A and B are shown apart, each in its own frame.
Chain A
């Protein structure tokens, strides 16, 4: 993953000027990670939902999909995603519902997935997972099975899927072995043709460039809120770019 970050640093220098136009809408700090947004696979259900002017999204996740505090829900990335999409899609009714609870492994999330999908009727399920599995060192095969199961459930409920991998957390890096879980997620995504929102590399790039100080020991929420806001925006970009009808994908600079 270091490689991807280094690559994007290089690309940034090369391509900064060329891309500046569509980046201009973002707050400055988010822009640097735009190169890491991948648009590998289409999201046909979202495309159709956009045409029908009504987009329901279900965010399924664990602790890193929420923020503490009274304004936690409002400032966490699911709500920021709804905000970003609503701004970009005038005339489309965007709703983001959540099934977020901390300390859940992929398999635990899959257990409640079918009723959650039935209740939300989403065109897109955004699924953040992997951190808790890495912390509890879930068996890799079981993690893979859970991912496949979740993706298949979403598909049979008529929803596309975007996966989100773990956060980049510099302080706990030597204690949580994320690597193999991230690789497994990427492999499942490739097989299932599901886009991955590479939150790890994006946050790593922010940390490397000094965009956000992810090292600081603080109780304050400001950085966390900024990070979630940026994640919501970039996630919105991924969804829109992937769902764009009739446009060749993955041709531009990634």
Chain B
């Protein structure tokens, strides 16, 4: 296998940063600004981008660790990362508890007696908090991190296989994906139902990202530069766009032949529908076509805000979830005018950028260490997020 490129691909950070912004915008309920996010114009959404790029960067960072320091050290690193994410998730859960407890005590409206049943779980916190710690009870919009944790827990052996037999590892991942669809594998949730993002299905995108990072992208280069593939991608995006328009303008639905509707619906997000994968891949093909890796503009200050967010994805993601809670709180307590939606959305992204910049600064300071001479640590290895 060709050696993986040693310099971090800024396009990954850029698009992961943008994906984090979109996830934030989508997580504020009824946010008018979320009208601009990609989920409204096709089948896939920012989650696909996030999971793929996370797989890519995880392989990039831990792949090098595994080559240089062996399986044990790399696995330990991966597990440490999974632990960090777990802690972050629990922290977010605490914030969620605070929010719901506040609403439970401050809100009363005879119209919504049924809906106020959401606070029932506060009556037996022994069960719910335990279930939350076991990642079985997951409040709204807190499903991505548990998925990430499970993907990382399984990542060390996957990476081991990817480094030795990349094609085989990718095929194995696709087989698990197919078997998941065939047998309906899933992870149970509390109080009932299953995980919103089924790890058995979503691992495919994560492993595919990792495969691309470890040389797969070069292998695909011939395909990615083919005008035929580009054409397919464009046609598919146009198709997805036209279907998406029928969600908002139901009258257009009359133009969709019945057999098409029968074939595509329901588009299964928990199990990462094939239509969603294809949509993501088409987006990726077009992006790679127009934005070359060495594009100098990537280093310009225009893209810096998104790139810095993408480079500190865990912190930015968690902050985004918190800010989405806070944004919703502003809508309900202060104002729900369109202007407020715009202000909250822009302010939220600005805060995410500022926080990412701060984390970035901290890392630089810590790396410099207390001594007079900075210890030599390779960039993109110890310092960056996977």
Contacts and interface: CB of A to CB of B under 8 A. Distances in A.
Interface in A63-80: 63-64, 67-69
Given A139-B192, A187-B266, A171 B107 contact: yes
Interface in B184-200: 189, 191-194, 196
Given A137-B191, A174-B141, A2 B110 contact: no
A38 interface: yes
A77 to B, nearest CB: 11
B325 A2 contact: no
Interface string B225-263: 000000000000000000000011111000000000100
Given A63-B114, A217-B107, A170 B34 contact: no
A21 B213 CA distance: 64
Contacts of A169: 111-112, 115
Contacts of B103: 171-172, 175
Contact of B332 (A139, A215, A224): A215
B321 to A, nearest CB: 10
Contact of B140 (A3, A63, A177, A223): A177
Given A217-B106, A218-B109, A219-B110, A139 B193 contact: yes
A176 interface: yes
Contact of A215 (B108, B251, B336): B336
A86 interface: no
Q: How big is the B interface, by class?
A: 35 or more
Contacts of B32: 2
A111 interface: no
Q: Kindly name the residue among A102, A103, A137 whose own CB sees the greatest number of chain B CB atoms within 10 A.
A: A137
A137 B29 contact: no
A137 B325 CA distance: 20
Contact of A173 (B113, B117, B328): B328
Interface string A45-68: 000000000000000001110011
Interface of B: 28-30, 32, 34-35, 40, 99-100, 103, 106-118, 139-141, 189, 191-194, 196, 247-251, 261, 265-266, 269-270, 324-325, 328, 331-332, 336
8 contacts: A64-B112, A132-B117, A135-B117, A167-B111, A169-B111, A172-B115, A174-B140, A215-B332
